[in-house]
Amino acid sequence: MSEQTPSSPSDISVDDLSAIVQRVADKLQLIAEAVKNLNQNRTQLEGKIEDAQKRIQHILSRLPEQSDGRQLNLLGEATPPTNSEDDNEPTTH
């Protein structure tokens, strides 16, 4: 980086320097807040990823063996067994 040096001390006043320093300080504060927010978001996303991986692992652990021909219920909902003899009877509800 090249720095410009004023030709005389009167080219840049103390007020100008103070204003420049204040702008830089404000920008640094904004950057620090953005980094903090990004870190919080990353932590939240890492937690969500970990939860999703646990759910996937749980589902995978419930998969039947390849040779098992039974119907698979991954969601764990209770499903009544179907009897083929009841398929043709009308409902009386």
pLDDT in tens, 4-27: 555 555 688 999 999 999 999 999
Examine residue 30 and state whether it is found in any structural domain, yes or no: yes
Domain count for the chain, please give it.
1
Examine residue 5 and state whether it is found in any structural domain, yes or no: no
Examine residue 47 and state whether it is found in any structural domain, yes or no: yes
Please, which pLDDT band fits residue 43 given cuts at 50, 70 and 90? very high
Examine residue 74 and state whether it is found in any structural domain, yes or no: no
Domain containing residue 25 = 13-62
Q: What is the pTM of this model?
A: 0.50
DSSP the chain: -PPPPPSSGGGS-HHHHHHHHHHHHHHHHHHHHHHHHHHHHHHHHHHHHHHHHHHHHHHHHTPPPTT--SPP-TT----PPP-GGGTTSPP--
* Mean residue pLDDT across the chain: 80
DSSP symbol at 75: T
Examine residue 19 and state whether it is found in any structural domain, yes or no: yes
Examine residue 73 and state whether it is found in any structural domain, yes or no: no
